[in-house]
Structure 1
Amino acid sequence: MNDKTAQRFGEVFRRFFETGYMDDLAELFQGESKVIVYLSTAEGIVYPSDISRDLMISRQRVTSVLSTMEKKGFVSLVRDPEDKRRVQVKLLPKGEKSIEEKQQRLEKYFSVFVDALGEENLKNLLDSSEKAVAALEHTMKGSSQTV
């Protein structure tokens, strides 16, 4: 890649990140939002150990996140009536609403992409992005260093 292309690449991605889109997208896959998405799709009773195992988050981190979410009114933590040592996690309407709002913001961003690029160009962008991600994953596999 020549210097001008590298400079343009850096500039375009800098501007892209400054839009806030990546922050909103990353937020869906981290912390509270990640747990809310999990709870909204889970079937049956959910325990903190389920969240820890399925989302590969430490039990301590799950406990901390759930405590914060309970204070915000996003979840309720209720003792299991059959085993008082265990706590059941239930998603509350306020938690559902918070994730719906984030998903609506992301849908607006997606709509901007489609309107600006058209479906064919967007498909090409996604295909190219998938190739780039695969190359990065391959490069990073087995390496503890970052690029």
Structure 2
Amino acid sequence: MDRQQLKLELLQSLQKMYDMELVAPLLEFCQGEMRVLLYLDAHPAGAREIYPSDLSDALYVTRQRITTILASLRKKGYIITETSKSDRRKTRVRLSKAGSHYVQEKRALADSYFDLLIQTLGEKDAAELNRLVKRAAEELEGLAE
């Protein structure tokens, strides 16, 4: 297979996965509100204060986009924003109980999807898929900078 054909087939395979109804809920984990919630869940409020600028830097999202996401999450009751105890000019962000519960529900959904994927592919092929995706991520990391 020539390089152009390989590129075309990779694109088509990724597009097919992207368009599948089963995969759509997993895409949430990689972008937008869910990605912010996962970050907050991984960095509990007691460990250190999280500010919108921290989210922007860590998730490679513009400050404006973070502000929009946080406003939406606050409206849904998934996060709490409050004045920082260490610097009254800053607003800290933390996950609410409702936000934590929402993240747990979404993780359970993803867990059931991965159970189905492993069952469908078999453990050996699922492990190989994981190895290849991990390798691709490691090899491509930093190239876009």
TM-score category of the 2 structures, normalised to the smaller one = 0.7 to 0.9
Matched residue pairs, number?
141
> For 1:42-81, what aligned pairs fall within 5 Å after superposition?
42=43, 43-81=47-85
Identity of aligned residues (%): 27
Question: In the alignment, does 2:88 pair up with 1:84?
Answer: yes
Give, in whole Å, the separation in 2 of the partners of 1:130 and 1:55.
19
Deviations 1:80-118 (A, max 9, x none): 244332111111011112221221111111111221222
TM-score by length of 1: 0.74
**Structure-1 separation of matches of 2:13 and 2:62:** 36
Structure 1: runs of 5 or more not aligned: 143-147
Residue in structure 2 matching 1:120, options 109, 124, 127: 124
Taking only aligned residues, the RMSD between alpha carbons, in angstroms, comes to 3.3
Residue of structure 1 in register with 2:20 after alignment: 19
Cα contact 1:21–1:109 (8 A) shared by 2: yes
The aligned runs of 1:104-143 (5 Å cut-off) are 104-129=108-133, 133=136, 137=140, 141=143
SS in 2 for 1:84: coil
Q: Secondary structure at the match of 2:48?
A: coil
Extract unaligned runs of 5+ from structure 2: none
Whose radius of gyration is greater, 1 or 2? 1
Distance in 2 between residues matched to 1:7 and 1:66, nearest whole Å: 38
| Mapped partners of 2:7, 2:86: distance in 1 | 61
TM-score (norm 2): 0.75
What residue number does 1:99 align with?
Answer: 103
* CA contact 1:39–1:91 (8 Å) conserved in 2: yes
